[in-house]
Amino acid sequence: MIRIFRRYAYPAKSIAAWPTLLLVIGLIVLIGLIGLIQACDSSNASLTERKAAHDDAIASRIYHSGGVFSGKELCPESAWDTITPIDSLNPPPKESEPEMTVKGMQQFIKDKGIKSVDEFLTYLPAHFRNNFSLVEKTISAGSASLEYPRIILFGSDGHFMMDLPTDPNDHHYTHIPVMQLDTQTGHWELSQFDFSEEQPIVRRNLAKCRTCHGDANARPMWGTFWEWEGIFGDSVVAGPRPEAMHHTHAIKMNDIMRGEGGSTRFDILKWRKTQMRRGGARMLAEHDFGPELVISNIVMGSATALGTYLRLSHHDDYQAERHEMLLAYYLHRLEKQTRYVKADNSKARFEYARDTNLAISQQLATQAAPALDPMLLRMGIDTSEAFSLATIHGQDEPKPDWSMGASDLYDMLMLQVLDELRRDDPIVAGILATTALEQPLYLCPDTVQNVDEMIDLKMLHLFHLKGEARYQVHRVYYPRDLDDIYEQVFLPIADSLIPYLQSKQPLAVAMQ
């Protein structure tokens, strides 16, 4: 060890100079702190600027062709074809509608002089009235029952959700709990609008809500695929049926559609004009695909995954560890099986997935890969909290394998990591652009030709389209295999990508 300081008797003259010396040292430290703060601000600004530039680049590639008929489906010409015209990726609200954020809703209520929940509901945009579920069980402060189910409005993108009571005798009948994703920070805000007084008030960031939804990694609470207990339409039929409603749910929804639901709040909802029946599924009124509960999970899942990605991307170590993170994802994914496939269920498809996974396991056996969950935890993402949407935080055993059917939140998170990495790493971009699809887009085999284009399409429909734009596009076209991420994106590129990711591993890990 090198000694920097020595003990000796300082002369009086030297001691007298200490105040000046300490002042100089203090100024140096202060300048260093200012530089550090500016560096952090610059880093945050850089992230914001990168995101804005990327959004502009995406918007410039969007066009509408009117669609191409494949013989079975009206298909996009390419990944960027929305078929129908849209004003932007996230159009501003119409003059007669609120911006669906806490701040926008608060300002709209003030500007319109709105005094009641029911009055406000008449102004809701179409994509909220179209995208909803009914629940007869709740852990929220209000009540829910078969007679008076609560209405969960999740919109077209899940970035802002509302929980409406319908029982006039509910003590919280004048309250609207809301949940909003901050698309800058990735954190969720849990707030409440209260119309019980002369002037409506909003209580923001309620701490009591986080006891159930989580804290640093707060998230929505919703049933996992096939297990929507307490939600209208949950399967009552044994076997591979994601939605098969109970006869009591069918009867109640038919009553609501006839205007006999027992609450005027049901009047705002859009319904597809078909009779509900036991064993059936409710289809969203204005949606090309439509199964309500399947869509609800993909909508809430994509919003949750976006929030997780945004929080992750703000961590100092994230940029440097993206390659290793994707390698860890492959190891993680080998231990999981796809529960349900909404599109191609052919024998050839399953044999391809089986054989490719076997090859991946052999590749990973040649060089140690890190575990994904500890890596994410080190960067602030506790998946036991962030991904356990079907559990009560702090009470239930965490279940981070919450599913959307063909994918889970790990898949959606890693899709975003890969999407970003391809913009920064030309070798990754080259692998994606030169790898042909093993599983073409369902019913639209000519829309995308390689994995790079498949990522474009999935990112557009899962993340880039928002609000009214997503609603309008999905009215005319919705990819049935939209959430089939691992098999359509990650399996085809594994043979080329995994060796490259292994070559980018830190030496200490590679030598384990």
Q: What pLDDT digit, counting tens, does each position of 65-105 carry?
A: 999 999 999 999 999 999 999 999 999 999 999 999 999 99
Strands ordered across the beta sheet of 175-181: 132-135, 150-153, 160-164, 175-181, 188-194, 201-203
On the question of pLDDT at 322 being above 90, the answer is yes
Whether the per-residue pLDDT at 507 is higher than 70: the answer is no
Give residue-wise pLDDT tens across range 153-185.
999 999 999 999 999 999 999 999 999 999 999
For residues 373 and 244, give the distance between their C-alpha atoms in angstroms, rounded to a whole number.
Answer: 34
3-state secondary structure of 180: strand
* pLDDT score of 8: 32
In three-state secondary structure terms, 18 is helix
Query: How much of the chain, in percent, has pLDDT values that exceed 90?
Result: 78
Q: Which tokens sit at 206?
A: 């309620």
Distance CA 147, CA 248 (A): 10
Please list the alpha-helical segments (H only) found in 258-408: 292-313, 322-334, 347-365, 372-378, 383-386
User: What is the reported pTM?
Assistant: 0.89
pLDDT, residue 4, reads 31
Mean pLDDT of the chain: 89
pLDDT of residue 512: 45
How many Cα neighbours within 13 Å face the side chain of 444?
22
pLDDT value of residue 159 = 98
List, in order, residues 6 or more apart from 375 with CB less than 8 Å away. Answer: 321, 324, 325, 328
Q: Give the residue-averaged pLDDT of 477-485.
A: 96
Give residue 1's pLDDT: 33
Tokens of 46: 């850089």
Residue 339 DSSP one-character state:
-
Higher pLDDT, 344 or 201: 201
Q: How far apart are CA 457 and CA 441, in angstroms?
A: 10
188's enclosing H/E stretch is: strand 188-194
Q: Give yes or no for a contact between 441 and 65, defined as CB atoms under 8 angstroms apart.
A: no
- Cα separation, 17 vs 7, whole angstroms: 18
